[in-house]
Amino acid sequence: MNFINRIGAAVSAYGGPDFAWRLATGLSRRPVVLTYHRVLSSSDEVVDKTQRDVTKGEFRAHVKRLLSRRRPVTLYDIVKGEIGDGQVFAITFDDGYGDNFRTAAPILRELGVPAAVFVTTDPVSGRGWLWWDRLAYALTLSVGKSVSALGRNFEIASEADVWTAQAELTRTLKRATDRGAVIREIAEQSGMGNEPPPGLYLTWDDVRALRDDGWEIGAHTRSHRILTSLPREDAEIEIDECAREITDETGTGPRLFAYPNGRPGDFDDGIIAHLKETGFVGACASDAGPESNEPDPFAVKRIAPKGGEPASVFRLRVSGLYYKLRR
Ligand SMILES: [Zn+2]
């Protein structure tokens, strides 16, 4: 059990299971924006175990827990500051995974909760994998082999070796300009096919169905490159082409954006100015805790619950205490 899990357990043990929650909701009336990637059901293939995606059961429990204390609103309402009184929450999804439509949407429809999805257009348009999925899948298929990449040799004897190699390669490849070629080489050594498993990513038909269901369709670039790692012109193309494709496919231009990776340093004033010029009204960062009382509409903070976390840690995350303890 890591440090934060121990704190969560200790706080719950001290004051009963809802103590942390009561403490935190008493402290904070700030809007809470959650961010998820995949929502897994038992039939889904897990291509990347290091992502710690939530299961369908965990996702439903999170939303029901939030509904018992807070009112669901849209991210757009939060960005525009139109949320009225009381405590609110909004749900978002990043990247454009197919299970958002298959698994999460029916749960949210049943519970009457709106959502936004930030679409990366390359995988949704069938132009291949998101790079980290392809890397994880290739390494998983390489157990029992050795893989050479970046002038090194990775012996992949077990699942633990997959995770070690993946962590090391991911660190280097996140901002590498030759990333595509390196991953292609690793994929070729693994013998995997070029196409992602069917249903891993949303299709445009799925996106249109989500739109018809009331979801906000936001933009998350074309290929998920970290915008500040690119020459400005290329960063603008990543944004503009993504927005153009969403407009062509759904009939509506996206109003909201999520920065790839979304940490401080992954976006800057120039990127924000370009988003404003292009017609966006807000943008989300990643996993930085609950919002302040007056959110910066172009750096909306979000909470990223992980699969396998105890309910006490979910409560600590929503309360913001988790992020204070982590500092
Ligand atoms: Zn993303």
Nearest to 127 by CA among 258, 251, 192, 222: 222
Q: How far is the CA of 227 from the centre of ligand 1 (A)?
A: 12
285 Cβ neighbours under 8 A, 6+ residues apart = 259, 262, 263, 264, 266, 267, 299, 300, 301, 302
Measured in Å, residue 221 CA sits from the centre of ligand 1 at 9
Spans in the chain with pLDDT lower than 70: 1-29, 327
Burial class (CB in 10 A: 0-12, 13-18, 19+), 244: middle
230 contacts: CB under 8 Å, gap ≥ 6: 238
Distance 303 CA to ligand 1 centre (A): 14
Q: pTM for the whole thing? A: 0.89
Spatial distance between the Cα atoms of 73 and 79, rounded to a whole number of angstroms: 11
Provide the 10 A C-beta neighbour count for residue 135.
Answer: 25
Query: 158 CA to middle of ligand 1, Å?
Result: 28
**Domain map of the chain by residue range?**
3-125+199-326, 131-190
Specify the pLDDT at position 22: 52
Task: Tell how far the Cα of 39 is from the centroid of ligand 1, in angstroms.
Answer: 14
Report the alpha-carbon distance of residue 281 to residue 325 in Å, rounded. 32
The closest of 112, 40, 64 to 311, measured between CA atoms, is 64
CA of 260 to the centre of ligand 1 (A): 5
Q: Is 4 left (phi over 0), alpha (psi -120 to 50) or beta?
A: alpha
Give the Å distance between the CA of 302 and the centre of ligand 1: 13
Give pLDDT, residue 8.
56
Q: What CATH number does domain 3-125+199-326 carry, 3.40.50.150, 1.10.10.10, 3.20.20.370, 3.90.1150.10?
A: 3.20.20.370
pLDDT score at 2: 62
